[in-house]
């Protein structure tokens, strides 16, 4: 955590998001100033009633004085509405900007960050924690400045009217200050624990709801429920502890306020009895004391609110401090139209220290050719695809795209020219049309239909009553595996990329679906550079180059016929998948 105080950093961040809204803030401040003036003068009406109208039996002036007081109350209501509504506008806009900035910043972070952090916790920071800050940016918070002015003005006035009586009241203020200081730190720590346990509960919810199919398949609903109850109980306990501190703080402040009021009432009554003050004076004095205690009560509420918000902002600030490791260099250039000539030059890469995945690695993907990667799990096949997209940076060596060193290429200009079809198809909760057009949101209806037809998806799309407007559910739950994959291919086709990456695109499909996918890919690949990662060797027989990997090293390379003749690792893999071929040749 930064050495600067989180609270000061929090207010600085919130103020930064109010730019352009100073007219509204100024109007709200003017309204609060008017409220302070009215509240200062209203006690004078009670003094006039008790000291002038009642002793002189001014019946005629009672209605007029009542009209003044009701008018002042109406103006108070109007000004309070104006200040509250304008600060709501300010706070909503500021919080929207903060949330949008935080979301944009989160999207800019690289995969390593998301591998370290849980989705539920990030969702909690973007929603619940940001919403907590909204409570801080309210008319009540802005009124602290007006309350401070009122507090000073009333103290000065009371000292002028009766110094001894005013000093009795002021003597209680140090107790208020130290009580607030004592509770503020404890309240902040308590709400920090509340935020942490709430985030853990969100993590559990996200994990279980997204994995509901597995939970039901394994009949582990009871275990999931027990875990949720445990986190829910911890969240309840932390919330109760924080609430106990907050609710204890307010009555203690109220008690100290009543101690001051009792001293004023008793000492003031004694002075009235000695004719040193009038009844109107003491009534007005009590009204001013109540007015004086208003800012003190507001301060006690704000202390609790600030500590809650500070604990929320600490979590937001931790996220804002994160910086992506993968980002554009200062001399990054936009990549022109990709031809797809990719060269790995003496590359060394590891996910964890001293556990290399690739070392002294050289690989050439020639433009307009299909290069296939095969090998056992963990040999580095998917890692090569990730490095081409620069989802990770190599620790040593250089990857070139059309002769450009990858670190010197603008990320968007690279990734927008790459099409990806993977085994784990990612679809979003929307329509079929939305998912096909995901990478090209301005695509025309004709372009979307052409992509669907080329991907062999048109038949099943038109079979749905709503056609392209069919909602597919979260992660495409309403579609079969083959249907999802064909939508993924249609999405790739629509972008018309020059470089295609097929990562186990048919590994989990049945034979019929695989044949449909292969037919779609036959339309997708011509004239493009393609990297195919496959376990099923039947899908790569026609590849221009097949590279066999083991433990991050190339052990064989060539086309299908060449590798079979060498009788090496590739032939061993092939014979395992096609034992009938051995029998036929034997």
Measured CA to CA, the distance from residue 489 to residue 512 in angstroms comes to 16
Query: Which position has the higher pLDDT, 457 or 583?
Result: 457
Query: Exposure string (b/e) for 364-383, b if CB count within 10 Å is 16 or more?
Result: ebeeebbbbbbbeeebbbbb
Measured CA to CA, the distance from residue 10 to residue 17 in angstroms comes to 11
Mean pLDDT of 58-68: 78
Mean pLDDT of 304-328: 81
Helix (H, G, I), strand (E, B) or coil at 296: helix
**Site of tokens 């200009």:** 413
User: Do the domains at 6-321 and 330-376+391-416+544-586 have one common CATH topology?
Assistant: no
When pLDDT is cut at 50, 70 and 90, the band that residue 174 belongs to is: confident
The secondary structure of 21-80 as a DSSP string is -HHHHHHHHHHHHHHHHHHHHHHHHHHHIIIIITTTT-HHHHHHHHHHHHHHHHHHHHHH
State the pLDDT at residue 384.
92
The secondary structure of 443-479 as a DSSP string is --HHHHHHHHHHTT-HHHHHHSTTGGG-B--GGGTTS
Residue 140 has pLDDT above 70, yes or no: no
Residue 586 has pLDDT above 60, yes or no: no
Query: Which position has the higher pLDDT, 120 or 107?
Result: 107
**Per mean pLDDT, which of 31-35, 40-44, 152-156 is the most reliable?**
31-35
When pLDDT is cut at 50, 70 and 90, the band that residue 342 belongs to is: very high
Mean pLDDT of 13-19: 74
Centre a 10 Å sphere on the Cβ of residue 582 and count the other Cβ atoms it contains: 12
Residue 570 has pLDDT above 80, yes or no: yes
Residue 155 has pLDDT above 90, yes or no: no
When pLDDT is cut at 50, 70 and 90, the band that residue 216 belongs to is: low
Bridge partners of 471, per DSSP, are: 431
State the pLDDT at residue 2.
45
Taking only the tens place, the pLDDT of each residue in 533-553 is 877 777 788 888 999 998 888
Mean of the per-residue pLDDT values for the chain? 79
Please answer whether residues 479 and 318 qualify as being in contact, where contact means their C-beta atoms are separated by less than 8 angstroms: no
Please answer whether residues 500 and 533 qualify as being in contact, where contact means their C-beta atoms are separated by less than 8 angstroms: no
Measured CA to CA, the distance from residue 10 to residue 310 in angstroms comes to 7
Query: Which position has the higher pLDDT, 214 or 65?
Result: 65
Percent of the chain past pLDDT 70, that is, above it, reads 87
Taking only the tens place, the pLDDT of each residue in 445-501 is 898 888 888 888 888 888 888 888 888 877 777 788 788 888 888 888 888 888 888
Between 3.40.640.10, 2.50.20.10, 1.20.1560.10, 1.10.10.10, what CATH number should domain 6-321 receive? 1.20.1560.10
Q: What are phi and psi of 368, to 5 degrees?
A: 65, 20
**Per mean pLDDT, which of 35-44, 241-250, 462-471 is the most reliable?**
462-471
Closest CA to 245 of 197, 303, 313: 303
Residue 346 has pLDDT above 80, yes or no: yes
State the pLDDT at residue 582.
44
**Where along the chain do its domains lie?**
6-321, 330-376+391-416+544-586, 423-503+510-527
Query: Which position has the higher pLDDT, 295 or 424?
Result: 424
When pLDDT is cut at 50, 70 and 90, the band that residue 382 belongs to is: confident
Taking only the tens place, the pLDDT of each residue in 412-457 is 888 888 888 877 777 887 888 988 888 788 888 898 888 888 888 8
> Does CATH number 3.40.640.10 belong to domain 330-376+391-416+544-586?
no
When pLDDT is cut at 50, 70 and 90, the band that residue 507 belongs to is: low
CA distances from 215 to 119, 212, 220, 473, 478 (A): 18, 5, 5, 19, 18
Mean pLDDT of 182-203: 75
Bridge partners of 399, per DSSP, are: 344
Please answer whether residues 316 and 401 qualify as being in contact, where contact means their C-beta atoms are separated by less than 8 angstroms: no
* Residue 404: both structure tokens together: 């450009």
Mean pLDDT of 225-232: 82
Helices (H) and strands (E) in the chain, counts: 22, 10
Measured CA to CA, the distance from residue 568 to residue 125 in angstroms comes to 53
Please answer whether residues 227 and 204 qualify as being in contact, where contact means their C-beta atoms are separated by less than 8 angstroms: yes
Fold of 423-503+510-527: Rossmann fold (3.40.50)
When pLDDT is cut at 50, 70 and 90, the band that residue 344 belongs to is: very high
Residue 324 DSSP symbol: -
State the pLDDT at residue 581.
46
When pLDDT is cut at 50, 70 and 90, the band that residue 201 belongs to is: confident
Helix (H, G, I), strand (E, B) or coil at 586: coil
Residue 4 has pLDDT above 50, yes or no: no
- What is the dihedral sign for C-alpha 76, 82, 88, 90? negative
When pLDDT is cut at 50, 70 and 90, the band that residue 400 belongs to is: very high
CA distances from 475 to 382, 428, 429, 465, 485 (A): 22, 5, 6, 20, 12
Q: What pTM was estimated for this model as a whole?
A: 0.69
Mean pLDDT of 373-398: 88
**Site of tokens 């806009």:** 93
Measured CA to CA, the distance from residue 43 to residue 288 in angstroms comes to 7
């Amino acid at each position: 955590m930064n050495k600067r105080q989180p609270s000061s950093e929090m207010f600085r961040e919130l103020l930064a998001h109010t730019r352009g809204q100073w007219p509204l803030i100024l109007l709200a401040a003017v309204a609060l100033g008017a409220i302070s003036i009215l509240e200062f003068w209203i006690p004078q009406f009670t003094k006039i009633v008790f000291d002038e109208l009642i002793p002189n039996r001014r019946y005629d002036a009672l209605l007029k004085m009542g009209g003044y007081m009701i008018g002042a109350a109406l103006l108070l209501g109007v000004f309070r509405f104006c200040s509250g509504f304008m600060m709501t506008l300010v706070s909503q806009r500021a919080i929207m900007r903060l949330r949008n900035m935080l979301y944009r910043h989160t999207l800019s972070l690289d995969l390593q960050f998301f591998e370290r952090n849980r989705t539920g916790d990030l969702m909690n920071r973007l929603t619940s924690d940001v919403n907590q800050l909204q409570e801080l940016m309210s008319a009540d918070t802005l009124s602290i400045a007006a309350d401070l002015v009122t507090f000073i003005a009333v103290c000065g006035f009371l000292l002028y009217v009766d110094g001894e009586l005013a000093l009795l009241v002021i003597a209680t203020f140090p107790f208020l200050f130290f009580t607030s200081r004592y509770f503020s730190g404890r309240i902040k720590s308590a709400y920090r624990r509340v935020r942490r346990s709430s985030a853990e509960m969100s993590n559990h919810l996200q994990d279980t709801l997204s994995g509901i199919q597995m939970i039901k398949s394994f009949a582990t609903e009871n275990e999931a429920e027990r875990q949720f109850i445990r986190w829910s109980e911890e969240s309840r306990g932390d919330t109760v502890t924080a609430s106990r501190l907050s609710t204890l703080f307010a009555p203690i402040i109220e008690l100290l306020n009543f101690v001051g009021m009792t001293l004023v009432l008793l000492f003031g009554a004694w002075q009235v009895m000695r004719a040193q003050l009038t009844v109107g004076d003491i009534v007005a004095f009590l009204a001013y004391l109540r007015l004086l205690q208003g800012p003190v009560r507001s301060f006690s509420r704000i202390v609790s609110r600030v500590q809650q918000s500070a604990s929320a902002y600490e979590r937001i600030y931790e996220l804002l401090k994160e910086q992506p490791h993968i980002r554009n260099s200062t001399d990054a250039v936009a990549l022109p139209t990709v031809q797809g000539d990719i060269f790995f030059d003496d590359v060394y890469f590891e996910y964890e220290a001293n556990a290399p995945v690739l070392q002294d690695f050289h690989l050439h993907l020639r433009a307009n050719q299909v290069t296939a990667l095969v090998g056992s799990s963990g040999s580095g096949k998917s890692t090569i695809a990730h490095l081409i997209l620069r989802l990770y940076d190599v620790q040593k060596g250089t990857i070139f795209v059309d002769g450009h060193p990858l670190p010197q290429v603008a990320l968007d200009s690279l990734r927008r020219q790459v099409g990806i079809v993977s085994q784990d198809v990612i679809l979003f909760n929307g329509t079929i049309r939305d998912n096909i057009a995901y990478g090209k949101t301005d695509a025309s209806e004709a372009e979307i239909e052409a992509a669907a037809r080329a991907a062999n998806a048109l038949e099943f799309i038109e079979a749905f009553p709503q056609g392209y407007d069919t909602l597919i559910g979260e992660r495409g739950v309403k579609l079969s595996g083959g249907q999802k994959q064909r939508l993924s291919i249609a999405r790739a086709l629509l972008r018309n990329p020059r470089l295609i990456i097929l990562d186990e695109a048919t590994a989990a499909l049945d034979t019929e679906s695989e044949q449909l996918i292969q037919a779609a890919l036959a339309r997708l690949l011509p004239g493009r550079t393609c990297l195919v990662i496959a376990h099923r060797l039947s899908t790569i027989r026609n590849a221009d180059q097949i590279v066999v990997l083991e433990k991050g090293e190339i052990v064989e390379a060539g086309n299908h016929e060449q590798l079979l003749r060498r009788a090496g690792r590739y032939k061993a893999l092939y014979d395992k998948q096609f034992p009938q071929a051995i029998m036929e040749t034997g």
